[in-house]
Structure 1
Amino acid sequence: MTSPTQALSVAGVSIWLDDLSRSRISSGNLADLVATRDVTGVTTNPTIFQGAIGNASDDSYREALSRLAAEGADADAAIFALTTADVRDAADVFRPVYDATRGVDGRVSIEVSPDLAHDTAATVTEAKRLWKAVDRPNTLIKIPATKAGLPAITEVIAAGISVNVTLIFSLERYAEVIDAYLAGLERAHSGDFDLASIHSVASFFVSRVDTEVDKRLAAIGTPEALALKGKAGIANARLAYELYEQKFAGKRARDLVAVGANVQRPLWASTGVKDPALPDTLYVTELVAPGTVNTMPEKTLQATFDHAVVTGDTITGGYAAAHGVFDALTRAGVDFADVTQVLEDEGVDKFIASWHDLQNTVATALDEARR
């Protein structure tokens, strides 16, 4: 019997786990998810690493922290060593998937420091440093889709480095992300890089959109506004896929693909359902289309495997309805441009806060190890 996760694979959707820890790797849990839940990749972010390394009940980092303390490492150096080691080990777990899919899947992402989100040059330097340190071809370096991040994306792709562009909320910014990717490929091609070796995903956030829009709809309070709750996130993602189809059907992208380039796949991020009134697999079953990635927290992954109903492509036939949702949101008084700017700002700020918490946690652990 075909499981829902297998059905997603048949429909052209790759499943990536949105979580990573050293104990998940060493216990064999990650390999088991590959074997039993059809997981083909992993994404990480500063909040995930803060949860893993800062977990008082998980002693899998203790020995490494003691060694790093003895070597005189400060918090930033220790974090760099711990996180790149985890990503390197996870990439080794996924190497068979990477080989079997010719580099499409089997990917593990690691993010540049969120403190650099508004510094183009520093982001480029850190991305190259992470790529060299992990030293695995199936790595993706995560760069946020801030205004400063866009030229960094181009520069890093031009250097032959594969990139996961994160924190995308608006169609306007997504179009700029695609253009930044294509510009990087053009430069890589002129620099004689093998374009086939460069991969990228564009992480378009879903549930956070509904959280912010639904809060505004509740404040408006009209029956028309309340009827739109829970609809903006999926509509926004569907229109992102429409834009993806349009942009990669254009001559600029087709010319690059003709010389070996890969398209930049849409990735649905923030797919854990926040509103208990909504189905727990909503952002999985309603966002099925060929060539997409859905990165899920484990709770959503297990719910998907257990009871998701996968009916094939649920995106490409819904463009008109998705445009209708946004027309209705405008009539209701929702300023969606403001929504997406708030979400981008909050997303960066939340990752910065997690990063600083992680720095404090690791600094304390290093001090304790030196006593």
Structure 2
Amino acid sequence: MKVLFIGGTGNISTPSSKLAIANGIDLYVLNRGKAKVELKGAQSIIGDINKPEELSELKKHDWDVVVNWIAFTKEDIERDIELFSGKTKQYIFISSASCYQTPLSYPVITESTPLHNPLWDYSQDKIACEDRLQQEYRNNGFPITIVRPSLTYDTVIPIAIGGFDKFNTAQRILNGKEIIVHGDGTSLWTVTHSDDFAKGFVGLLGLQTAIGHAFHITSDEVLSWNMIYKILADALGKKAKIVHIASDFICKKEPSFTGTLLADKAESVLFDNTKIKTFVPGFKATIPFSEGIKRTVKWLLEHPELQNIDEETEAKIENVLKAYKGL
């Protein structure tokens, strides 16, 4: 099976690339050649998907599957439809579980949960991408499959404030400083290791019964945010000094946190993975957060150059803490 990954060397996509190669898939990876990740067994195509003059090599191929890991806008989708119509048997779009109804009218999410998130431009753009792809599938048979990850981690720290590609909150824990946990910390969430995500995702590659369908792929482990931060602190060998602050207070003081809080992580969410397990019977998430985050923390501590302390984020955290305390 001949598969093209546009991207393929990121936090979520790298384990999927490695598993695809291990499963004997003939994998091509299109990127700008700047990634430090080495994918042994993959064939590299150097180019920018937004620069047609750099895509002469790409246009020589027909594909069994094309996966775009880095499409974010409707314009990206229009470009891909033009590039790959008649050139691939399956086109997989990486969307986001943040597209699901916000706030939820029912806490258990299935793939039929409405897509509606008026609080975050990122989610609205992903929904617009999905809408355009569904239209092209209905009208012209463009062979789409949609995948919606949710807070998936490997080389990042999956928390709401001062995490992901930033090391701020982890460093605050290491330094014995206070950290912010939104709400009272009892709302529920699911974090998924990228190695587990890859098991479900790679099973969709070339799966013709998945054409026209959407899937989320998450762990079945459900944790409170208090537990997520406690487990993170344990992995760092410290205790977290948690300050609970209401999400709406946080976002009022620092509106830039709205996307990751009020638009995404402020309320309990439970994912029903029946669909991905039905289409990919071998899928099962087996890496608990207590194990996975130890791997992530160990890797980051061994690579201090990747411990990104963002000064602007740090100032925002301090501003929220001071405002909450009335200082």
**TM-score normalized with structure 2 length:** 0.34
The structure with more strand, counted as a fraction of residues: 2
Higher relative CO (Cα under 8 Å, sequence separation at least 6) belongs to 1
**TM-score normalized with structure 1 length:** 0.31
The structure with more helix, counted as a fraction of residues: 1
